[in-house]
Chain A
Amino acid sequence: MIKGTLKEDKRKIRGRQEEDERKNEEPMKIKELIKQDAGFQYIIDSMDFMSAAGRRCMLNTEFCNNADELHAEWHRLEHAIQATREYKYKKPYIDLRHCLMCLHDLQGTLASLSNHTPLNEVELFEIKNLSQLSQTAKNAIANMGLGDILPIPETTEVFSLLDPDHTGIANFYIYDSYDPRLTPLRRELNALQTSEGDPVRISQLLAEQNEIQNEVCLRLSDQLHPWSKTLITTMEQMAYTDFLLAKADLSIRWELSQPEIGDIIEYKGLVNPRLKERNEKQKLRYQPVDITLHLGVCLITGANMAGKTVLLKSVGTAQIMAQCGMYVPASKAVIRLLEGVVTSIGDDQDEMNGLSSYAAEIIKISDILSTCRSREMLVLIDEPARTTNPVEGKALVQAIIKILNTLNSFTLITTHYSQLGVDCRRLRVKGFVEDLADLPLNPQNINRFIDYSLTEDQSDNVPHEALRIATILQCDSEMIALAQEKLLN
């Protein structure tokens, strides 16, 4: 079904290409990788951020392919994990989490400060609060032995500037001591207000007071201006602290492990966190898989329900996690540093609305090919060309494999097409275990009879188990019988 006109399609495509060209220049960020539908959104949703700033810090993290930087980040994470294990229910950790919970995202205020835009009382309060919070956080971090890893700038002078009466409390107003005119003015104002005095004089005093307050705000903004860079760093470091603690917490909860960097991609006991959690909730078995990938294309075949799509997402998720400085959901992992992850998984996405599912898919794949011509990527394509006729579909799949085989990419493609006649590696999901025909099966317990592990496959045929699965799922018996008859003929 074609949902949009050809003209519209072309316009959409052109706009998209321009956007892609621009994006190809710079490293991918997490917020772009989420759109790749490799299941990474679930990772972010599972992380326990204390502040909006911490979450933003994560979304702005770049997909890193510099080994030194990644090792440094994993090193920090290792320390954070150790400290979290040791201090989880102790004072410094609880204090630090509380500080982060109170952290407001002051991007706008701090931008005003560095642009010489005068701050108002509320903004000054926020800065005073940030300086106090960051100093409390700094102490907690030092007590957890993370001072070297999470350096928080010294801002006690900022606090003093906003605390002229040395109260030590993060409250704020334009204190009398900021301007000698304020004390007599407020004394008179108070006397008039409490005795219901002359309203004209009251308005006059209020206006005068406002003027002085504005002057003080201006002066304070000026005095704080040299601190703007330090305060921005403070804000960023606090946000990063939140991100690092959330990573450490997730690593402990999910038993993630630190990957090694190598020339190939190799996982032992790779897990799809989302599916694993779901299975655990439903008290179902979850089977981790082992997989090794080399440069070039690897075809994944296997029956329906054998977890091919999940496998693609697991590989994609783990790659993104690793290159964003996280640990990975596998018992052992070697990763090859790549420039990004591109996928064609599932049905068309929002941005593709108006295109038929075939059109959306083929455009996506064509984009993938053009990206891979200039960059080294992890490519995940789920059942390409499945929504069009099998004759042309098969030809397209052959072409896609051929092109990707010559490029510098690690590609995983799932397919149900047999006899593709292309030269590439094939892995088959073992699928349904034999001798189970007599067991009563239903969609709830079916997963107990599937072996999700992968095996090298030399043949060019794919398993034919569609009818068997339909039988197991107790689908319409007339349909199944007729189909079987057709096949025999």
Chain B
Amino acid sequence: MPFVNDILRYRSLSIVGLEKNTGKTVCLNYILQRLNQMEVSLGVTSIGVDGEQVDAVFATAKPEITLYKGTRFITSEQHYMKRQVVSVLEHVDSRRTSLGPLVTARVLIQGKVLLSGAATTGALREQIQMLDSMGCNLSIVDGALSRLSLASPTVTEAMILATGAAVSANVKQLVSKTKFLHNLILLDEVDSDLREKLSTIPSGLWAVDNEGEPHDLGIASVFLIDRAEKDILRFGKTLFASGAVSDRLLRILAAKEKGITLIARDFTKLFITPEAYVEFTRRDGRLRVLQRSKLIAVTLNPTSPQGFLLDSKSTCEALSDALQTPVYDVKKIEG
């Protein structure tokens, strides 16, 4: 029973995919089934709208999510009306989505449901808190499309990364794309003193001096960096970006000086390509994060929505070698 025991150490878990159709739902079903045998009080929700029976983009059949007795779930009113479980309504949210208000219910007789959830990470955090206060030991968030924001350690404590043939039918490319994101997820954390000082900074680009003290560089957004009047490296070569980190920022820093350390909040704030990252590291640049995500497992879906089928065993091996971590074909372990 690989990696399910690891999950139980956390109070919240997100399942995110590198792309659409990378098998998040299959993975979630596997976890739900295993947890059902372990008497965990479980909450399940999603970000945005997910759980359609048929994939809206590629029209491929999508596995539905099976929930077991005692599980609490959050979904929209419209999806709730289509449920195949018998369940008790416990809460209705006052905010409305395009599919009606979000409702929370507890399963009495197991069956399949369609999940939908809050559209923003802020609202998602509230939903997780609510599940927690209702007595759920673990809340699982099913990702939508290729959104990563829910995997931020400020939203969910731990994550599972789903990859697969949908990312690329070329194993080499699949490995390199997965490895790149995997590297970002595993970036080193800064020490806890510095984290405490930086985490309350609301916005802008800041410098960190040799004593670990932050200084406001007066740059409200990293997009305004070329308008900076004073040298941004006047306090030293360590910088902290409170918001998003882009390719442009990395390239500007790489051009400026060698050996710059850039601290981001977490990997979900890094909107960068491998190319820009390589340029930055070639100039001895280093990326750090305030908080590293707890990556529990990497899973593989060898089928692509266009119908490609990768060889499960060799692809898993290639990925495991590159990532130095076990990779599971969820369809196989499920069976």
A contact residues vs B (CB 8 Å cutoff): 52, 104-105, 120-122, 125-126, 129, 171-173, 186, 189-190, 193-194, 202, 206, 209
The smallest C-beta distance from B29 to any residue of chain A, in angstroms, reads: 13
Residue from A171, A194, A209 in contact with B86 in the complex, judged by beta carbons closer than 8 Å: A209
A120-B81 contact given A193-B111, A206-B111, CB 8 Å threshold? yes
The smallest C-beta distance from B176 to any residue of chain A, in angstroms, reads: 40
Q: Quick check: B109 and A121 within 8 Å, CB to CB?
A: no
B101 on interface, CB distance cutoff 8 Å: yes
Please name all residues of chain A whose beta carbon is closer than 8 Å to the beta carbon of B80 when the two chains form the complex.
121-122
Q: Quick check: A122 and B103 within 8 Å, CB to CB?
A: yes
A173-B86 contact given A193-B109, A193-B111, CB 8 Å threshold? yes
Query: Beta-carbon contacts of B78-101 to A below 8 Å, as 1s and 0s?
Result: 001100101111101010000011
Once bound together, how far apart are the Cα atoms of A489 and B185, in whole Å? 77
Q: Quick check: B92 and A104 within 8 Å, CB to CB?
A: yes
Most buried by B among A122, A186, A189: A122
Q: Quick check: A171 and B110 within 8 Å, CB to CB?
A: no
The smallest C-beta distance from A471 to any residue of chain B, in angstroms, reads: 32
Other A-B contacts than A186-B109, A189-B86, A209-B86, 12 sampled, CB-CB below 8 A, are A122-B80, A122-B100, A122-B101, A122-B103, A126-B92, A129-B92, A172-B88, A173-B108, A186-B86, A190-B109, A193-B110, A206-B84
B77 on interface, CB distance cutoff 8 Å: yes
Please name all residues of chain B whose beta carbon is closer than 8 Å to the beta carbon of A173 when the two chains form the complex.
86-89, 105, 108
Q: Quick check: B77 and A122 within 8 Å, CB to CB?
A: yes
Q: Quick check: B109 and A171 within 8 Å, CB to CB?
A: no
Q: Quick check: B89 and A125 within 8 Å, CB to CB?
A: yes
Please name all residues of chain B whose beta carbon is closer than 8 Å to the beta carbon of A202 when the two chains form the complex.
84, 111
Please name all residues of chain B whose beta carbon is closer than 8 Å to the beta carbon of A206 when the two chains form the complex.
84, 111
Ordered by A's residue number, 18 sampled pairs between the chains whose C-beta atoms are within 8 Å are: A104-B94, A121-B89, A122-B92, A125-B89, A171-B89, A171-B90, A173-B86, A173-B87, A173-B89, A173-B108, A186-B86, A189-B86, A189-B109, A193-B109, A202-B111, A206-B84, A206-B111, A209-B86
Please name all residues of chain A whose beta carbon is closer than 8 Å to the beta carbon of B111 when the two chains form the complex.
193, 202, 206
The smallest C-beta distance from A372 to any residue of chain B, in angstroms, reads: 42
The smallest C-beta distance from A101 to any residue of chain B, in angstroms, reads: 9
* Interface of chain A, main secondary structure: helix
Once bound together, how far apart are the Cα atoms of A206 and B111, in whole Å? 10
The smallest C-beta distance from B153 to any residue of chain A, in angstroms, reads: 30
Once bound together, how far apart are the Cα atoms of A120 and B92, in whole Å? 13
The smallest C-beta distance from A184 to any residue of chain B, in angstroms, reads: 13
Please name all residues of chain A whose beta carbon is closer than 8 Å to the beta carbon of B77 when the two chains form the complex.
120, 122
Most buried by A among B105, B109, B111: B109
Please name all residues of chain B whose beta carbon is closer than 8 Å to the beta carbon of A209 when the two chains form the complex.
86
Q: Quick check: A172 and B89 within 8 Å, CB to CB?
A: yes
The smallest C-beta distance from A374 to any residue of chain B, in angstroms, reads: 42
A53: nearest chain-B partner, CB-CB = B94
B101: nearest chain-A partner, CB-CB = A122
Please name all residues of chain A whose beta carbon is closer than 8 Å to the beta carbon of B109 when the two chains form the complex.
186, 189-190, 193
Residue from A52, A125, A186, A189 in contact with B92 in the complex, judged by beta carbons closer than 8 Å: A125
Once bound together, how far apart are the Cα atoms of A114 and B17, in whole Å? 47
B contact residues vs A (CB 8 Å cutoff): 77, 80-81, 84, 86-90, 92, 94, 100-101, 103, 105-106, 108-111
B103: nearest chain-A partner, CB-CB = A122
Please name all residues of chain B whose beta carbon is closer than 8 Å to the beta carbon of A104 when the two chains form the complex.
92, 94
Once bound together, how far apart are the Cα atoms of A173 and B88, in whole Å? 5
Please name all residues of chain A whose beta carbon is closer than 8 Å to the beta carbon of B100 when the two chains form the complex.
122
A101: nearest chain-B partner, CB-CB = B94
The smallest C-beta distance from A126 to any residue of chain B, in angstroms, reads: 6
Most buried by A among B77, B86, B90, B103: B86
The smallest C-beta distance from A124 to any residue of chain B, in angstroms, reads: 9
B83: nearest chain-A partner, CB-CB = A206
B36: nearest chain-A partner, CB-CB = A194
Please name all residues of chain B whose beta carbon is closer than 8 Å to the beta carbon of A120 when the two chains form the complex.
77, 81
The smallest C-beta distance from B334 to any residue of chain A, in angstroms, reads: 13
Please name all residues of chain B whose beta carbon is closer than 8 Å to the beta carbon of A194 when the two chains form the complex.
110
The smallest C-beta distance from A355 to any residue of chain B, in angstroms, reads: 36
Once bound together, how far apart are the Cα atoms of A202 and B109, in whole Å? 12
Residue from B94, B101, B103, B110 in contact with A52 in the complex, judged by beta carbons closer than 8 Å: B94
The smallest C-beta distance from B98 to any residue of chain A, in angstroms, reads: 15
Once bound together, how far apart are the Cα atoms of A202 and B103, in whole Å? 25
Q: Quick check: A171 and B88 within 8 Å, CB to CB?
A: yes
The smallest C-beta distance from B39 to any residue of chain A, in angstroms, reads: 15
A125: nearest chain-B partner, CB-CB = B89
Please name all residues of chain A whose beta carbon is closer than 8 Å to the beta carbon of B81 when the two chains form the complex.
120-122
Please name all residues of chain B whose beta carbon is closer than 8 Å to the beta carbon of A171 when the two chains form the complex.
88-90, 106
Once bound together, how far apart are the Cα atoms of A121 and B103, in whole Å? 11
Closest 9 CB pairs of A and B: A125-B89, A173-B88, A190-B109, A193-B110, A172-B89, A171-B88, A104-B94, A122-B77, A171-B90
A209: nearest chain-B partner, CB-CB = B86
The smallest C-beta distance from B81 to any residue of chain A, in angstroms, reads: 6
Once bound together, how far apart are the Cα atoms of A173 and B80, in whole Å? 12
Please name all residues of chain B whose beta carbon is closer than 8 Å to the beta carbon of A172 when the two chains form the complex.
88-89
A169: nearest chain-B partner, CB-CB = B90
Please name all residues of chain B whose beta carbon is closer than 8 Å to the beta carbon of A189 when the two chains form the complex.
86, 109
The smallest C-beta distance from B33 to any residue of chain A, in angstroms, reads: 11
The smallest C-beta distance from A341 to any residue of chain B, in angstroms, reads: 33
Please name all residues of chain A whose beta carbon is closer than 8 Å to the beta carbon of B89 when the two chains form the complex.
121-122, 125, 171-173
Once bound together, how far apart are the Cα atoms of A52 and B77, in whole Å? 20
Please name all residues of chain B whose beta carbon is closer than 8 Å to the beta carbon of A129 when the two chains form the complex.
92
The smallest C-beta distance from B66 to any residue of chain A, in angstroms, reads: 9
Once bound together, how far apart are the Cα atoms of A194 and B86, in whole Å? 13
Please name all residues of chain A whose beta carbon is closer than 8 Å to the beta carbon of B90 when the two chains form the complex.
171
Once bound together, how far apart are the Cα atoms of A104 and B91, in whole Å? 11
The smallest C-beta distance from B85 to any residue of chain A, in angstroms, reads: 9
Please name all residues of chain A whose beta carbon is closer than 8 Å to the beta carbon of B110 when the two chains form the complex.
190, 193-194
Once bound together, how far apart are the Cα atoms of A190 and B84, in whole Å? 12
